[in-house]
Copies of this chain bind each other. A is one copy, B any other.
Amino acid sequence: MAKEVTSKEENYSQWYNNLVVKADLAENSAVRGCMVIKPYGYAIWEKIQGQLDRMFKATGHQNAYFPLFIPKSFLSREAEHVEGFAKECAVVTHHRLKANPDGPGVVVDPDARLEEELIVRPTSETIIWNSYKNWIKSYRDLPILINQWANVVRWEMRTRLFLRTAEFLWQEGHTAHATAKEAMEEAQRMVQVYADFARTHMALPVVVGHKSEHERFAGALDTLCIEAMMQDGKALQAGTSHFLGQNFAKAFDVKFADKDGKLDYVWATSWGVSTRLMGALIMAHGDNNGLVLPPAIAPIQVVFVPIYKGQEELDRMVAYMKDIASELEKAGISTKIDDRDNVRSGFKFAEWELKGVPVRVVIGPRDLERGEVEICRRDTLEKSAASREGLAGHIKELLDEIQANIYNKALAFRDSKTVKVDTWDEFKERIEEGGFLLCHWDGTTETEMKIQEETKATIRCIPIDSYVCEEPGKCVYSGRPSQRRVIFARSY
């Protein structure tokens, strides 16, 4: 095979990078930390986007678009927020270039300096709440349930394709409410939408929980998240939903009159997922042959590869495949016929395995005569024969089975790598093996930081589903009393 992938047992990190590049998902660009998302990678992102967008609209949200730039002074309005983002942002200082007076090329025109510098949005709370100020007068204007699909920039020092890039694509929901209760419910609703999407469509068995105070979003009173486990046992935060209290309303002076005319600050949430989900997808399901895409988000669900000798046979196979493909398309299944005549079938098999297409259908002249096709499923690599008759129905069932199998495999893996740990010695030993450690914690940031310093493990979340953690015990580090277990893990 031309495009060989490093095995994940040999070098997990290299395996990941290999998959991203060799499956044509993305590549590094000439701009430090900024990636190019290639057509196949973008097609997967479009599937993710499309499904999430439907789920957002079904829960009453509308899309809108706010400016890319944020005036520098806006960022400072919310103290924790600026602390969280000021150190890693792209700053626009000028609005014009001019011919280089000392040689070829262009230079920044010093006369075109902006009065106030603009920040390329790292997240949009500030610019959005500055708009909401004009939109909200009374309780009748609430709730505001808005989502934005956008690019954002955070000047990360160490970047990795999809997982951590300077520019990334995401969606950010920003809602405004009359009561704290309603805003908290919204933050919870949206983290559950994320969990539902991750489980049902991406086949990721995520854990839903609260972040510790230390891990919260800069400016939030509570951060909910979904955490997924990768195949090296590390955790990956796949989405967050924040209850922002009245912090941004206070920073931007956004008040509303209630039914009795009494003024109060508005309550807020924000929530987002990003192209980081692509990284989760690859690392949770991929194998040494390449990607393994859950059918629900595979841009191509079934690929057809003809076996033939000579042009006449190729034409005959392709015509036959077109018939079948159109039957499948009618049943809502996306297909592709690989009719290239300049590469061998074995090369095609390897390439579509690399790209994670859930089902491969192979047909040669003898299959045609017998009214049969060969089917190979990507998740197990198992081959079987199937009858031409009723094939669409059979494949539809198979796709459902593959979707369920990918999820169940990831779930079984996660459970096999999740352990309750009650002593500090065991903690230090088990954390080296990866996985989720369910431990008691005394609730202090001090302990959390010490554990991180000694083991690089962080609290991924205080789970609200997936695990029964409500039991009294003693902190695994300090021995102080604790009411529930939390998840510790090393993470991306």
Name A residues whose Cβ lies closer than 8 Å to a Cβ of B: 27, 29-31, 34-39, 41-43, 45-46, 62-76, 82, 86-99, 104-106, 108, 117-120, 127, 130-131, 134, 140, 146, 150-151, 153, 155, 167, 169, 342
Contacts and interface: CB of A to CB of B under 8 A. Distances in A.
Contacts of A31: 67, 69-71, 118, 127
Top 7 A-B pairs, shortest CB-CB distance? A34-B67, A39-B62, A86-B97, A37-B65, A95-B155, A91-B94, A76-B105
A2 to B, nearest CB: 13
Majority secondary structure, A binding face = mixed
What is the total number of copies of this protein in its complex? 2
Contact of A95 (B64, B89, B108, B151): B89
A43 B63 CA distance: 7
B67 A167 contact: yes
Contacts of A342: 140
Contact of A88 (B95, B120, B146): B95
Nearest to A46: B63
Nearest to A144: B39
Interface centre among A63, A69, A75, A88 (most CB of B within 10 A): A69
Nearest to A140: B342
A95 B86 contact: no
Contacts of A72: 97, 105-106, 108
Given A82-B97, A89-B95, 5 more contacts: A29-B67, A36-B66, A41-B64, A86-B97, A91-B94
Contacts of A87: 96-98
B65 A120 contact: no
A95 to B, nearest CB: 4
B91 A64 contact: no
Contacts of A30: 67, 71, 74, 127, 130
A67 B36 contact: yes
Nearest to A167: B68
B96 A120 contact: no
Nearest to A98: B86
Nearest to A77: B105
A68 B120 contact: yes
Nearest to A83: B99
A62 to B, nearest CB: 4
Contacts of A36: 64-67, 131
Contacts of A90: 69, 92, 94-95, 118
Contact of A42 (B62, B89, B92): B62
Nearest to A45: B65
A138 to B, nearest CB: 11
Contacts of A91: 92-97, 108
A89 B112 CA distance: 10
A93 B70 contact: no
A73 B76 CA distance: 33
Contacts of A64: 36-39, 41-42
A68 B127 contact: no
B108 A73 contact: no
A99 to B, nearest CB: 8
Nearest to A74: B30
A63 B82 contact: no
Contacts of A37: 64-66
Nearest to A38: B64
Contacts of A104: 76
Contacts of A38: 64
Interface centre among A30, A94, A96, A104 (most CB of B within 10 A): A30
Given A104-B76, A106-B72, A93 B93 contact: yes
Nearest to A134: B27
6 contacts: A27-B131, A31-B127, A38-B64, A69-B90, A90-B95, A140-B342
Contacts of A29: 66-67, 127, 130-131
B89 A97 contact: yes
A67 B106 contact: no
Contacts of A153: 68
